[in-house]
Copies of this chain bind each other. A is one copy, B any other.
């Protein structure tokens, strides 16, 4: 049945830009069509529209900012001159997109985003290549996930290609904010919020998509710095049948206290374990990879948790798996999406078979891990004392950056 829910959500991605939100409307629908499809009645008169890039209007700022010295950038604090916004209503679908000066949102205090967390987002980056062209990295993956997140909380879905076209235009318009140096980029934050201003708990009849942009520097300006993790066993981030695999606001606020608990004991991030088996799932807001030598055969294995509904479908995770299959498998590596317990990880460490551990996400690409505090044990993750990264994390970062910055021409890189 869970698969059924996912499949239905998937169907929403194929173009429907509207669905009835009141129960009475749904009751009139055949069970097989449900709320994801456009109602025949509505379609015959005024079909709600999908996002239409040709209707874009641009209003440029009268007071352009001076881009900050790149070395002074802090993640997500400085924003560019403009923002991309697209309103949606249940009746009309997606309205004309606008790029306008960066400005506050003015919302009724009863707006559903403040009360019921009708909000989802994406994190992606625009890079400047050696020719000065602006490139997005795998934006199709972000838009696919964005649609899945939206559908899961009854927000409207949209055409991924239309959204990518608009985001590309927006990124190009802000290109003077993208530093021309390796490691620098423009972080893009597409966000979708419910804007209905009534307190009844139901599907929002209106929504707003907005994209803001923040110039960012390298996560590790002076080279890798390995982090230490605390395994969290007293709180649970995600569970089967829940929404932990979607990029919803709802998944983030509840993570802060465990993160602060870990920080209070001197750990940069917490590691989420799941269930009595203590499966290793994610670290803070990143996916996790382990490189382990097989006990019997000595074969090297790169392991990450499978997409069982409790793991965020990271774009970096997917890129690492792809690259590993392309470049590490021929070297004899086994590439596995499988469950692994904290106990097994600990055993591999004690045996000297744990080669390296690293987090993976858009912000840092990879984030090497030195040790994990688990119960009363400190699990060593295989780095030498003077090492800040293992070999695989390092190679992955280089391979991914080569495609992000267009040094290697690849279909993952989308020229704006």
The yes or no answer to A352 lying at the interface (CB within 8 A) is no
A contacts with B, residue count (CB < 8 A): 83
The yes or no answer to A44 lying at the interface (CB within 8 A) is no
Q: How far is the CA of A153 from the CA of B214 in the complex (A)?
A: 25
Cβ contact within 8 Å between A252 and B35: no
The yes or no answer to A113 lying at the interface (CB within 8 A) is yes
The yes or no answer to A255 lying at the interface (CB within 8 A) is yes
The yes or no answer to A203 lying at the interface (CB within 8 A) is yes
| 8 closest residue pairs by CB, A with B | A76-B199, A1-B234, A236-B241, A117-B249, A116-B252, A250-B250, A23-B263, A239-B239
Contact A193:B107 (CB < 8 A) given known A235-B241, A242-B236: no
**Min C-beta distance of A227 to chain B, whole Å:** 12
Q: How far is the CA of A105 from the CA of B74 in the complex (A)?
A: 27
For the complex with contacts A26-B263, A29-B264, A105-B109, 18 further pairs of A-B residues with Cβ separation under 8 Å are: A2-B234, A27-B263, A27-B266, A74-B200, A76-B198, A77-B199, A104-B106, A104-B107, A105-B114, A114-B191, A115-B121, A116-B249, A201-B285, A234-B241, A248-B250, A248-B254, A250-B250, A250-B251
**Min C-beta distance of A21 to chain B, whole Å:** 8
Q: How far is the CA of A253 from the CA of B106 in the complex (A)?
A: 21
Cβ contact within 8 Å between B203 and A260: yes
Q: Of all chain B residues, which has the CB nearest A79?
A: B110
Cβ contact within 8 Å between B202 and A256: yes
Please pick, from B76, B106, B113, B252, the residue contacting A106 in the complex, using a CB distance under 8 A: B106
**Min C-beta distance of A384 to chain B, whole Å:** 25
Q: What residues of B have a CB within 8 angstroms of the CB of A210 in the complex? A: 109
The yes or no answer to A4 lying at the interface (CB within 8 A) is yes
Cβ contact within 8 Å between A117 and B154: no
Contact code string A320-356 (vs B, CB < 8 Å = 1, else 0): 0000000000000000000000000000000000000
Please pick, from B5, B35, B256, the residue contacting A203 in the complex, using a CB distance under 8 A: B256
Contact code string A76-112 (vs B, CB < 8 Å = 1, else 0): 1101000100000000000000000011111111100
Contact code string A276-315 (vs B, CB < 8 Å = 1, else 0): 0000000011000000000000000000000000000000
Cβ contact within 8 Å between A214 and B236: no
Please pick, from B21, B119, B264, B285, the residue contacting A114 in the complex, using a CB distance under 8 A: B119
The yes or no answer to A138 lying at the interface (CB within 8 A) is no
**Min C-beta distance of A121 to chain B, whole Å:** 6
The yes or no answer to A118 lying at the interface (CB within 8 A) is yes
Cβ contact within 8 Å between B234 and A152: no
Q: How far is the CA of A33 from the CA of B252 in the complex (A)?
A: 24
Cβ contact within 8 Å between B198 and A77: yes
**Min C-beta distance of A358 to chain B, whole Å:** 19
